[in-house]
Amino acid sequence: MGGEQEGAAVPQSSKGSWSSFLKQMSSFNGDLSTMTAPAFILSTTSLTEFSAYWAEMPRHLVAPATEKNAEKRMVLVLKWFLSTLRQQYASRNEKLGSEKKPLNPFLGELFLGRWEDEAGTTQLASEQVSHHPPVTAYSIWNNKHGVRLQGYNAQKASFGRTINVRQVGHAILHIDEYDEDYLITLPGLHIEGLITGSPFVELNGSSYIVSSTGYTAKIDYSGRGWLSGAKNSLSATIFPHGKEKSKSDVLYTAEGSWTDNFTIKDAKKNTVESYSAKKEPKTPLKVADIKDQDPLESRRAWQKVAAAIEKGDLNTTSSEKSVIEESQRALRKKEAAEGKEWERRFFSRAKSSPPFEKLVKEVPGGSLEANQTDGIWVFDGEKAKEAKPPFAKLSEEIKDGWK
């Protein structure tokens, strides 16, 4: 670990619990999300809220819909995806000083909101569709531009030199104007800074974006190593399907940092897109006041736990979490006795995913892994249109016939 000092960023009162936590992790065999972390490293935010990171800049999400050239649309989809990475994987560290352990959502937990700006209204519905294993499904749509994103993911964590996380699941972006889909796979990640008590996320490996128009983007991630390398680095290429290994067929390249600046260049090395993550304005997400939320919505359900975490009151945090957990156990026991299963509010299981199955052929080793996510999850427009208050406003925004 070089010159890292154990617990350097840990509050003095928590150094003992942090050391014990690290020792426990090093010998733990199972789902790390179930472990109890020291109070100072706990987040007041549930994982269901993380789905919002896909669309905090709606202008980038909808930009491909206004581009008539399919090749250039692929460039804009890549730019949008890369623009989400800082929000998804670094914003909490930048805001709070370190990565925090999020609240583990309960089955049926919801997070709903919308963005309103020059791109129009962009809606979000995020739901915890499985608890064992933990799976979050989400749908984001902008009817003005005919752009829809939906997906689901689970995280499989293990401990080696650090915490390694394999993300299971995918997202699919659909553009109505051209009736085209973009399959988006998810990068692997690991947590650095554990020894000092100031953890942060670093991405690793590769992820893909595959378009139904015949183009693929491969994104490679790397970080600061023992001897060299820059933190949060990315390198990407866009090429026709099946041409990944042919350098002469590369149409565009992207280089830079997913937390700072990157550029996208064409085959002639001309810069066609540039991006500065720290200068890009975000559109605030609008969420109903807690008093107006459904009991299943994240911020209402977890408000007492969040308040206790903010006060550093671990005893109250634990007791309030237990109230929620015991209530959930009682529900599951009742459902089992009646031979029923919890009815998801906005998502349903599907037997297959034709867009995924068509496009995943371009992803080396790609597969649905439905056994890792308790099924294949799709947004159910019919369920959403039947939503009762406080979800009535959401149902008004649903496009007729959207499955």
pLDDT bracket for residue 162 (50, 70, 90): confident
CB atoms within 10 A of CB 93: 17
d(CA 40, CA 321): 16
Average pLDDT over residues 207-226: 90
Instruction: Mean pLDDT check: name the lowest of 93-97, 242-246, 356-360, 392-396.
Output: 392-396
Model's pTM, two decimal places? 0.91
Amino acid at 154: A
d(CA 17, CA 352): 46
pLDDT at 161: 74
Amino acid at 94: E
In this predicted model, what pLDDT tens digit does every residue of 120-129 receive, in sequence order?
A: 999 999 999 9
pLDDT at 183: 98
pLDDT at 120: 97
pLDDT at 193: 79
Cα→Cα distances 394→53, 114, 141, 347, Å? 19, 9, 11, 14
pLDDT at 375: 96
Q: Encoding tokens for residue 227?
A: 């001897």
pLDDT at 39: 66
pLDDT above 60 (res 84): yes
Tell me which range, 73-82, 86-95, 366-375, is most confidently predicted by mean pLDDT: 73-82
pLDDT above 80 (res 185): yes
d(CA 304, CA 172): 35
pLDDT at 12: 66
Instruction: Mean pLDDT check: name the lowest of 21-25, 26-30, 219-223, 396-400.
Output: 396-400
Q: Identify the bridge partners of residue 262 per DSSP, sorted by sequence position.
A: 256, 275
